[in-house]
A and B are shown apart, each in its own frame.
Chain A
């Protein structure tokens, strides 16, 4: 049986492939800025928004968007004021997941639903939910394309970008909000705790073999989408948890790229030594 003839697999494929292709676009900038874990933290905060949304009976996407956007603004302002130390950030992030569970439990949300939000449940998505994911991902792509030269300058050297006339404060805010969008877009399909892996791991894999920033972005995007498709197939045939399979395949891509790079270097050095 062709799994992609099944409608629930089609929905899962569209949702996961789109978000897994878009997440590395944003991830490349946060990796270069040494903030690889910011997406993970945003996932914790988003959970608080989901909890509150469940408690007051509104759409979890709205709650997650509101909380991650608020946290993004707060983190950037704290950073400017010199208050964004490890401890302050940890308090916000851990507070987020604690508040999220507190609200969710009070709202009577079932464990299955909570596990689905934390670790993804792409096979249970509806077409309207897929539409929201695609719309959010599209918004991230548009902002990335428009701001691309400035984001690259920011990622390479924030001070030099600022001296060159780039409005770095606003750009950092935009980047943080893009991370928030990716987290919210990915929460139903890949999960709040795993989506940040798709911002980082495909980028790390692509960086092993790419020759420029642009090619790293494009290759990372392809690795993300391929991992999503392969992970869904593994889940279909092997009955694995889909989001976990997607992330593990992305990690396998990283290991393969690292091995390939080592092999190429070894062959090159042998050729040089051999004259």
Chain B
């Protein structure tokens, strides 16, 4: 069942500009993503798409313009449990052994209780995302023992344990084999079409989101414009939901 949508977009960028020192990276970028919508953001290396993602997550502050999450300016936004973030897999290459279960439950750290005791609904949510992403048999495995695709799915599961309404993913299929991409696509399809989640998929590779994205935005020269329509499936609501 699709969750009821809030009126405000899940993510909204209004005339956002950003510069590293005097080097402009993004210029007056505006876009929005509603719940139940899959937005792909594409661009080459150095185009500014990762900067755009970091601005959306409040990891960077815009030099001009506004970023809003669920209708709130970032300064006043407190409901980070509504936002899930999936980094590139290489970011979390662990030095120490860490199990899939530990990676997934670390997504709940902000509201963890003493001795990491879990509330009933949290335990159920963990079970749900682990099953959704096909990790049931790997919960006790070391992350380092898993394939690239399995590791990526564990990171997505971590982002999903808070039951977010917006999922922002950075190059989620980088270094992932074809089989794992298939599982990933199935999971994303479910999250958008069944759970009504907003997904922002940042990638240089259209193959990962072809047929999934409702809209494609290309970042080029620091500006955003509509991307290749052949990679998109059309507006949200036009598909079977």
Residues of A near any B CB (own CB < 8 A):
28, 31-32, 34, 145-146, 148-150, 152-157, 159-166, 203, 207, 210-216
User: A148, B116: Cβ atoms under 8 Å?
Assistant: yes
Give the contacting residue for B87; candidates A159, A211, A214; CB below 8 A: A159
User: A216, B87: Cβ atoms under 8 Å?
Assistant: no
How many residues on the B side are at the interface (Cβ–Cβ under 8 A)? 38
Interface core residue of A149, A152, A157, A162 (most chain B CB under 10 Å) = A149
Q: List 10 A-B contacts (CB under 8 A).
A: A31-B96, A153-B106, A155-B96, A156-B92, A156-B94, A160-B87, A212-B101, A212-B102, A213-B96, A213-B99
- Chain B, 150-168, contact with A by CB distance < 8 Å: what is the 0/1 string? 0000010011001000000
Residues 82 to 107 of chain B near chain A (Cβ within 8 Å): 83-85, 87, 91-92, 94-99, 101-103, 105-107
Complex CA gap A150/B107 in Å reads 9
Residues 52 to 110 of chain B near chain A (Cβ within 8 Å): 57-59, 78, 80-81, 83-85, 87, 91-92, 94-99, 101-103, 105-110
- CB nearest neighbor in A for B168: A163
Count of A-B residue pairs with CB < 8 Å: 106
Give the contacting residue for B116; candidates A149, A156, A212; CB below 8 A: A149
* Contact of A215 with B97 at beta-carbon distance under 8 Å, contacts A149-B108, A159-B85 already known: yes
User: A164, B109: Cβ atoms under 8 Å?
Assistant: yes
Cβ–Cβ < 8 Å partners of A159 in chain B:
57, 59, 85, 87, 91
User: B102, A163: Cβ atoms under 8 Å?
Assistant: no
The main secondary structure of chain A at its interface with chain B is helix
Complex CA gap A150/B108 in Å reads 9
Quote the shortest CB–CB distance from A175 to chain B (angstroms): 14
Complex CA gap A93/B83 in Å reads 40
User: B98, A163: Cβ atoms under 8 Å?
Assistant: no
* Contact of A150 with B114 at beta-carbon distance under 8 Å, contacts A211-B99, A211-B140, A216-B97 already known: no
Whether a CB of chain A sits under 8 angstroms from the CB of B112 is yes
Complex CA gap A233/B142 in Å reads 36
User: A212, B142: Cβ atoms under 8 Å?
Assistant: yes
- CB nearest neighbor in A for B59: A159
* Contact of A32 with B85 at beta-carbon distance under 8 Å, contacts A211-B99, A212-B102 already known: no
Cβ–Cβ < 8 Å partners of A203 in chain B:
96
* Contact of A145 with B95 at beta-carbon distance under 8 Å, contacts A156-B106, A163-B80, A213-B102 already known: no
